[in-house]
Chain A
């Protein structure tokens, strides 16, 4: 069984500043992927960033980067230079086998 925990139901950030969203997970699998998905009000789930568990190097995608701590089972998302369009629900997701397990989500608000 997999579990994913996001301890921050809501976060707020000033435009152009940096924010970090937290996530911890638990899995018995040795081979797995971790993702951050963004869900705006349109409900369209959009992949933000992906991390393969066997890779030690933290993934980066433009303004988005992760801090992957495998031993601690921690997978946080850092958003730099926050933009108004970043406002959305963010879900931390683990994948092992054929099932994506979602965390409860963090609602990110961006203040102009």
Chain B
């Protein structure tokens, strides 16, 4: 596609429910990143993939968070047993190279846990 696509745009989950957020990066982009953005704050790094390999998951806040990119393209961020503090916008970004010459962002998924 022309840009990074994320779905759904909005998700309301009941506390304790599992959710899955999808990211379609720009075709051919090697690197893929997930960020969490709380209301009124800057995005915080969650995890990074180079192709299908998850090279850095140091930002995942707990073991309830899990990300995968099995074929080196589409990625899914899964949150198990959601809690209210998980409410945020989840941003996905991809870049052509291994490093960050320019990262292209999706429009994010706004997750609200009630």
Please report A residues at the B interface, Cβ cutoff 8 Å: 4, 33, 37, 42-47, 50, 91, 95, 97-105
Give Cα distance in the complex from A37 to B100, angstroms: 13
- Majority secondary structure of chain A interface residues (helix, strand, loop or mixed): strand
Is B48 within 8 A of A104, CB to CB? no
Q: Across the two chains, which residue of chain B brings its CB closest to A45?
A: B105
Interface residues in B17-40 by Cβ distance below 8 A to A read: 31, 33, 35, 40
Is A47 within 8 A of B102, CB to CB? yes
Interface residues on B, range: 20 to 34
Q: Across the two chains, which residue of chain B brings its CB closest to A99?
A: B45
Known: A98-B100, A99-B45, A102-B42. A45 touches B31 (CB 8 A): no
Q: Across the two chains, which residue of chain B brings its CB closest to A52?
A: B101
- For the complex formed, measure the closest distance between the CB of A23 and the CB atoms of chain B, giving whole angstroms: 11
- For the complex formed, measure the closest distance between the CB of A90 and the CB atoms of chain B, giving whole angstroms: 10
Is B31 within 8 A of A98, CB to CB? yes
Of the residues A50, A98, A101, contact of B99 by C-beta under 8 Å: A98
Is B56 within 8 A of A44, CB to CB? no
Q: Across the two chains, which residue of chain B brings its CB closest to A103?
A: B42
Give Cα distance in the complex from A42 to B9, angstroms: 11
Give Cα distance in the complex from A50 to B100, angstroms: 11
Q: Across the two chains, which residue of chain A brings its CB closest to B104?
A: A47
Give Cα distance in the complex from A104 to B42, angstroms: 5
Is B55 within 8 A of A98, CB to CB? yes
Nearest 10 Cβ contacts at the A-B interface: A102-B42, A45-B105, A95-B100, A43-B108, A98-B48, A102-B43, A44-B107, A104-B42, A43-B107, A105-B42
